[in-house]
Amino acid sequence: MKNLFLLILILFWLSTNAENEKSKLVVAIVVDQMRYDFLENLDQNFSENGFKKLIKGGYNFKNNHFNYVPTVTAPGHASVATGSTPSTHGIVGNDWYDRKEKREIYCTTDNNYENIGGNAYYGKKSPKNMKVKSFADLIKSSNNNKSKTVSISLKDRGAIFMGGHSADAAYWFYGYDKGDMITSSYYMSSLPIWVDDFNKNIGNVYLKDWNLLLKPEKYVGYESDNNNYEKYFKGKPNTSFPYEISKLSSLNNGYNMIKETPYGNSLVTDFAIEAIINENLGDDDYVDVITIGYSSTDYIGHNFGILSLETQDTYYRLDLEIEKLLTFLDNKIGEKNYTLFLTGDHGALEVPAKLRDEGVEADAISKSKFKRSVIERLHESFDSNNLILSAMNNQIYINKDEVNEKGLNFRDVQNRTISILKEFDFVKEAYYSDFFSSENQYSGYEELIKNGFDKDRCGDVIFILKPNTIFYEDRGTTHGSGYDYDTHVPLIFYGANINHGESDEKTFINDITPTILSLLRVDQFDHNSGRSLFSGF
């Protein structure tokens, strides 16, 4: 009898523990422009309950990379969400040239829908250009659409692609004259009351002055707060703290300034918490999904660089946002009742001017001058100034109509374009686009181009910049390459059914979706090109 009673207790404990380990909510966090080395270089000032809690309680994949180019926001979020690369999901950049429409297009624009809040340009959006479904789509279809997906970011492309095609809601920030979280009629006909209520207080709560969180000596590896590497805000003659945002906003696109301060991330945390509460996420037996995109890190990184006081301060404040979110999730959903992952959508290069002053060969090239130079040299060869339709994502789109009208040979124009590109000392290599349409075996950088190549959306000539070279102004920095500083981003899984550990094995961004689906025991997509990083589920 005693043994039987003990057996019953054990079975009861196992069943209770199993219930605690059942995920009710997937929390997908994408930090815009977060390099992996930020986790290690800045950890001395992180709290114990933010990033460190995820690392100490979760599984840290320390060698996680993007396996395609260009490494920019829209392809980054689409690849995280779908478990595939741009060659499959079709989001080949934030923008690309559309040959049918004969114009450059933005990745989420869809004139079939209307703005709900904000203005027309910022609201006419949908995920139509993403060719495949997201992990959230498959989770919903696995339970007959009884679960719910809400996706949030300061950027529309961050919210829309992470939410997938069947999201119940995707929200993003419109600044300028209003300062509202908005959406598209793709999702709903009007904003919920709770969103309207939240919007009423955005200006008062988040448009505020910015000073250092810590004492200056706590920050890592900076020489001067005011320097020649960082961009100025209009109305401020230097790049030193403090930033009187309340005074500067009228000269810097109004409420848009919120995005360029750490308080944009605070807004996202608070809005995500309100979404979980008001949409009853994680409240029933069907696993829900919330995706959270922290984008202020990207705006600030572009403006100020990798190890600036501004960027460091933003990450120390983001650490506190992660702490706030985790505390809420533990209390509201339960410590073992949600599954969370955190990653980045790309990294970034340090400001080239700063690297040069440190003795590193680096450069920032004017894109407009570069394009004009290519056009001029093609004119010398073919007597036409209209052979280039567009130059973006390190690709050249050739005007085939002009080629035909002038009676030129298309391959000759391609050949000449490639030879011109190779004359620039900052170009490492250039290729015909059809090189990447074949079934050849690729390796190194060529494999990254292949994984990012869609023949209908990419250019006719593709080129590689040398390391530490960007198309940008001399102040500030950007990203987009296949070098480690752009590809190496964090990947941490935490929560239900996640044991503590870490790995130096190389993993890829398209491994995230297969891993989440495996943890939830949901069937995989056919288009997943990644793999599940955990076994035994």
CA 285 to chain centre: 30
Residue 12 banded pLDDT, cuts 50, 70, 90: very low
| Range 426-436 burial, b when 16+ CB lie within 10 A, else e | bbeebbebeeb
d(CA 155, CA 264): 11
Mean pLDDT to the nearest integer, 110-116: 97
pLDDT tens, residue by residue, 177-195: 999 999 999 999 999 999 9
pLDDT of residue 393: 98
Q: Is the pLDDT of residue 467 over 70?
A: yes
The answer to whether the CB of 509 falls within 8 A of the CB of 91 is no
Q: Is residue 64 classed as helix, strand or coil in its secondary structure? A: strand
CA distances in angstroms from 410 to 223, 454, 527, listed in the order given: 52, 19, 33
In contact, 360 and 46? CB cutoff 8 Å: no
Q: Give residue 14's pLDDT band: very low, low, confident or very high (50, 70, 90).
A: very low
**Which pair of tokens denotes residue 505?**
């094995």
Share of the chain above pLDDT 90, in %: 91
pLDDT over 70 (residue 88) = yes
Q: Which residues are marked as active site?
A: 73
Residue 44 Cα to chain centre, angstroms:
25
Q: How far apart are CA 396 and CA 459, in angstroms?
A: 5
Q: Average pLDDT, stretch 353-369? A: 97
Q: Which of 225, 315, 324 is nearest to 262 (CA)?
A: 315
User: Are the CB atoms for 513 and 139 separated by under 8 Å?
Assistant: no
Is omega for the bond preceding 242 within 30 degrees of 0, making it cis? Answer: yes
Give the separation between CA 339 and CA 341, rounded to whole angstroms: 7
Are 492 and 322 in contact by the 8 Å Cβ rule? The answer is: no
Mean pLDDT of the chain: 94
Question: Of 408, 387, 384, nearest to 396 (Cα)?
Answer: 387
Locus of tokens 């960082």: 230
Place 121 in a pLDDT band, splitting at 50, 70 and 90.
confident
Which pLDDT does position 387 carry in this prediction?
A: 98
Give this prediction's pTM. Answer: 0.95
Residues 6+ apart with CB under 8 A from 82: 88, 89, 130, 132, 133, 134, 135, 164, 510, 513, 525, 527, 528
Mean pLDDT over 429-456 rounds to 94
Predicted local distance difference test score (pLDDT) of residue 324 = 98
Q: Which domains does the chain have, with CATH numbers?
A: 23-356+483-519 (3.40.720.10), 363-467 (3.30.1360.150)
Interhelix angle 309-332/263-278, nearest 10 degrees:
10
pLDDT over 90 at 233, yes or no: yes
User: Is there a contact between 373 and 379 (Cβ–Cβ < 8 Å)?
Assistant: no
Angle CA 103–386–401, to nearest 5: 70
pLDDT at 320: 98
Which band of pLDDT confidence, cut at 50, 70 and 90, is reported for residue 22?
Answer: confident
Is pLDDT of 245 > 70? yes
Whole-number pLDDT of residue 480: 98
Structure confidence at residue 535 as a pLDDT band (50, 70, 90): low
459: left (phi over 0), alpha (psi -120 to 50) or beta: beta
| The one-letter amino acid at 419 | S
Please say whether the beta carbons of 186 and 205 come within 8 A: no
Residue pair 416/381 in contact (Cβ under 8 Å)? The answer is yes
Residue with token string 């590193």: 360
Return the axis-axis angle of helices 512-519 and 135-142, rounded to nearest 10°: 20
Whole-number Å distance between alpha carbons of 240 and 391: 35
The residue-averaged pLDDT of 447-474 equals 97
Strands 427-432 and 363-365: unpaired
Give me the pLDDT at residue 189, please.
Answer: 98
Lowest mean pLDDT among 431-435, 456-460, 520-524: 520-524
pLDDT tens digits along 375-409 = 999 999 999 999 999 999 999 999 999 999 999 99
Q: Does residue 475 contact residue 488 with C-beta atoms inside 8 Å?
A: no
Q: What is the DSSP string of 253-279?
A: TBGGGGGGSTHHHHHHHHHHHHHHHHT
pLDDT reading at 35 higher than 90: yes
What confidence tens digit (pLDDT) does each residue in 194-232 have? 999 999 999 999 999 999 999 999 999 877 899 999 999
Residue 16 has pLDDT above 60, yes or no: no
Confidence of residue 494 (pLDDT cuts 50, 70, 90): very high
For tokens 């523990």, what's the residue?
17
